[in-house]
Structure 1
Amino acid sequence: MTEATKTLGDLGLTARSMREATITGLAVDSRAVKRGYLFAALPGTQVHGAEFIGTALDMGAVAILTDAEGARIAQAEIGRADPAVVVAADPRQALAYTAALWSGMQPEVMIAVTGTNGKTSVATFVRRIWQELALRAVNVGTTGVEGDFETPLRHTTPEPITLHRVLAEAAEAGVTHAAMEASSHGLAQRRLDGVTLRAAGFTNFTQDHLDYHASFDEYFDAKAGLFARVLPEDGVAVINIDDPRGVDMAAIAQARGQGLITVGEAEGADLCMMAQRFDATGQEIRLRWMGRVVQMRLNLIGGFQGENVCLAAGLVIACGGDPDHVFAVLPRLETVRGRMQLAAKRDNGAAVFVDYAHTPDAVETAIRALRPHVMGRLVAIVGAGGDRDRGKRPLMGAAAAECADMVIVTDDNPRTEDPVSIRAEVLRGAPGATEVADRAEAILRGVDALGPGDALLICGKGHETGQIVGITVYPFDDAEQASVAVAALDGRLA
């Protein structure tokens, strides 16, 4: 997969004074440096990585990749150890290309999808469609690497060294197709810049991550980088044209000469969702592609899941998939873990669903999308994460209060913030909601409130299996807790 050593020249890097060095590995964490490594000292939001150059050199680093500010910060340490120093205007982008050259392999066909909501579902659906077409495939993102090669990940879009190592390992294992989630953080930090994409997708754009991005415009620009910078000019952009910012994304793609497939309910969409009909266990959708109309059943809850399937189908077609074969396998798609997942069902017929909705738009969309599948009342449990965008908290509460018949506000990864204060901010948008601090108790009370035909939607954690309090992660799984609550209340526990 990777050679034992590479020179700076092999990695596309030029050091000061044309110094050369033989590199045995790459690291962005000084604690991971070994003898012969190149250490990437990157600018951070709180501290510059150059502060750790001394440690990296003590650990055996022979080359440093940084920017002019980093070289200035570590001038004394660099003078003492005399490593090869590569100064780049954009060291994050330089690291991305370096990591790609170091690992040397990736699956032959790759796509990436960005947007505030729906990335995991779309990437997973793309992978599953490819697998149904007898192709070896993976999806890479929030749920780790899944499919014909599997490994956990710490971030939706990993830093470049990890990303390219994983892609190379997948390719070595025989994976030919990969679908990636492209987070705004990952795009802003150039983590995907060394990945060669065949196509890229855009789902939607709503408020999130304003704790990281200085403004809504900066957040959009980060997302737009997928089309403005990462997707090559001969790639294909697949855009949800129903989203208000879809037109802007399409314009960016067209300005670069990329191919364009538009998806949505709009009459002029290339892949048009003409109609949807819902029932208790799924939906039927009617699509039009190149003048041909097809209709199929999806065993998926929520109208937005139909939209996600369409975007996924568009991405597979953009990569050369035969449309007839793609449409034929769509009915076999199953719910993505933690995305409108049916977690449990009460003896009276009431259903409990778990969803990753953790933004105002996602909460509103999820509840409204569930409504056509429910004959009775709809109960929603919401919370907001600590150390994250505070501005969205009352908006999440308001979205739940407006769309659900009953709302319970509880904790959701409070991290280092006071959970009482977080709940109070959510409750500002939902003044009539019930406050239950303990998440397990909130789920139990929500399940207990369900009558025949009712449904409970537990928003926020989705696939996650831990609750972060302070800096400790305690085991917690919404779907598992829902099953326990139903079993306890319906007398199924032995």
Structure 2
Amino acid sequence: MKKALKKIIKKLLPLQFYNDLVPYLWHLPKAILANIVFDFPSRKLRVIGIAGTKGKSTTTYLINQFLESLKFKTAILSTTTVKIGEIERLNEFKMTSVDSWELQKFLRKAVEENCQFVVLEVSSHALKQFRTFGINFEIVVLTNLMSDHLEYHRDTKDYQKTHRKLITKNSKVLVLNNDDENLEDFKKIYLKQVSFGLNSGSSLLVKSHTIDKTGAVFSLIYSGESFGENKPGELGEFSSPLIGRFNLFNVLAALSTIIALGFDILKLKDSVENLQAAPGRVEKIENNLGIEILVDYAHSPDSLENLLGALKPNLKGRLIAVFGATGERDPAKRPIMGEILAKYCDHVFVTNDDPYGEDPEKIAFQLIGGLIESGKIGEEDYEKILDRKEAIKNAILTAKRGDTVVIMGKGSEQWQVFKNLKIPWDDRKVVREVLSES
């Protein structure tokens, strides 16, 4: 009944009017009620909020690992992970930030389990819909801001403005990416700040770094204001097993958060060296075929460029990709993503992601259009196999010893969604099934 009513209202109102009005008429009252019913649980917790276009899930996961290594009891809610204390599971909600009722319920449970810190990944949708209303974010982390979700937000300005809602009167420190020019306006906010990056002026500055297929080695200097045990000066060399420049920035964001909390990051060198990737984020699947199999959430032009650009220079064998674009999302990005796939990959399997109500053939056609238009890949170098399991199977069978197969778009997501069908799914499990059948 609720879904049917929602569809009727959407048809009657202009989409942008609906997106702007409904948060005030429905989401805000619901959030206020949830805070009251669950007795404002965030007031009894130290809450860290992570927002931005890319890197939220991994940064959230890394911050949690650092806090655990410092012997704190934590809770985490992100696109990939739901964890309270020792109990951890994959996020099956099919959304980054759950609705306000579930969120306050989660926070109340964290209080009952005596958690000291809660690390929350926060989406722009959640902020606009007041899902985080009433939560006291002690530390606010902004990984980066790009033009995204413009099918929901009015424009780029609205998208950026929405992220300001994360900063409340109780926020103590803003952690942000100094290399992202889209965050310039946030630097003007009157709040203590810890910035990170490769550019001069960063509080946590990368003095030198090398990145290869084994991870990153980097030297740091801290030149910001003192927070607890962290004073300005040389911090020395750190080593991370997470690959890619984008993951270097995720590690920097997490370390900057620890600085903002006042804990000595020099005590975390071993923790950095033993970091684990978030589920479905450049996750390696072990096998006996002599090939490397990676599962990742990359699903946009920026994330494809970052991931494939990080992988390709370090490979001796071929790079084989499995990818499909999400339905009912910005179709203009599809040919662009096809071009990026052609730029880096030796062979591409075009398949389904979550088509939702859109024609899967149409989505695949637009991706293939980008592959062909690039002029960098021949007809023999790509295949359209809409059945995602078959595409994964063929990619693995195509690979020879030394090759890398990267399966992108869904990461650790637990469902595949069609127009009138939602089926259990996990790329990682499918890969293991295929390997066991081989």
2:254 aligned residue: 312
When residues 214 and 459 of structure 1 are mapped into structure 2, their CA distance, relative to the original with a 3 A threshold, is: same
Residues 273 and 42 from structure 1, CA distance in 2 versus in 1: closer, same or farther, beyond 3 angstroms? farther
- Separation in structure 2 between the aligned mates of residue 394 and residue 126 of structure 1, nearest angstrom: 35
What is residue 109 of structure 1 aligned with on the other side?
Answer: 46
* Corresponding position: 1:476 with 2:416: no
Question: Aligned residue for 1:462?
Answer: 411
CA distance in 2, matches of 1:195, 1:341: 32
CA RMSD, Structure 1 to Structure 2 (Å):
2.8
Q: CA deviation at 1:90?
A: 6.4
Give distance in 1, aligned partners of 2:179 and 2:156. Answer: 19
Shift of 1:224: 3.6
Amino acid at match of 2:193: L
CA distance in 1, matches of 2:68, 2:415: 30
Distance of aligned partners of 1:485 and 1:435 in 2 relative to their CA distance in 1, 3 Å threshold: same
8 Å Cα contact 2:137/2:170 also seen in 1: no
Deviation above 6 Å: which 4+ runs of structure 1? 41-45
> How far off is 1:391 after superposition?
2.5
Q: CA offset at residue 145 of structure 1? A: 1.8
Q: Name 1:46's counterpart in structure 2.
A: 10
Q: 2:179 aligns with which of 238, 242, 248?
A: 242
Question: Aligned partner of 2:196: which letter?
Answer: V
**Among the aligned pairs, what percent are the same residue?**
28
2:227 corresponding residue in structure 1: none
1:335 paired with 2:272, answer no
The structure that has the greater radius of gyration is 1
- Choose from 424, 437, 443 the match for 2:386: 437
1:387 aligns with 2:337: no
In structure 1, the residue matched to 2:18 is: none
Tell me the CA shift for residue 334 of structure 1. 0.7
373 and 361 in structure 1: CA distance in 2 versus 1, 3 angstrom threshold: same
Conserved in 1, the CA contact under 8 Å of 2:239 and 2:269? no
**Which letter does structure 2 place at the counterpart of 1:441?**
E
Higher mean displacement: 178-187 or 370-379:
370-379
Q: Which residue of 1 aligns with 2:102?
A: 162
TM-score (norm 1): 0.76
- In the other structure, the counterpart of 1:219 is 159
Write the deviation string for residues 88-125 of structure 1: whole angstroms up to 9, x where unpaired: 96663344344223312235211111111111111111
Q: Aligned in 2, Cα 1:327/1:267: closer, same or farther, shift over 3 Å?
A: farther
CA distance in 1 between counterparts of 2:6 and 2:49 reads 24
Question: How many Å separate the matches in 1 of 2:359 and 2:408?
Answer: 20
2:246 equivalent to 1:297:
no
Deviates more, 1:272-281 or 1:170-179: 272-281
> Structure 2 residue aligned with 1:367, among 303, 308, 314?
308
Specify whether residues 90 and 417 from structure 1 end up closer, same or farther in structure 2 by C-alpha distance, changes over 3 A only.
closer
Count of matched residue positions in the alignment of Structure 1 and Structure 2: 408
Cα separation, 2, equivalents of 1:114 and 1:43: 29
1:322 corresponds to: 264
- Answer with 315-324 or 165-174: which moved more: 315-324
Which range moves more in the overlay, 198-207 or 127-136? 198-207
CA contact (8 A) 2:140 2:171 kept: no
Call closer, same or farther: CA 1:42–1:164 in 2, change over 3 Å: farther
Distance in 2 of aligned mates of 1:30 and 1:447: 43
Instruction: State the distance in 1 between where 2:158 and 2:77 align.
Output: 25
Q: Report the Cα distance in structure 2 between the residues aligned to 1:43 and 1:113, rounded to whole angstroms.
A: 31
Match of 2:398 among 449, 473, 485: 449
Q: Return the alpha-carbon distance in structure 2 between the equivalents of residues 467 and 122 of structure 1.
A: 25
Relative contact order, higher structure (CA 8 A, sep 6+): 2
Structure 1: gaps (5+ residues): 1-28, 32-40, 49-68, 71-87, 490-494
Instruction: Please give the secondary structure, in 2, of the residue aligned with 1:296.
Output: strand
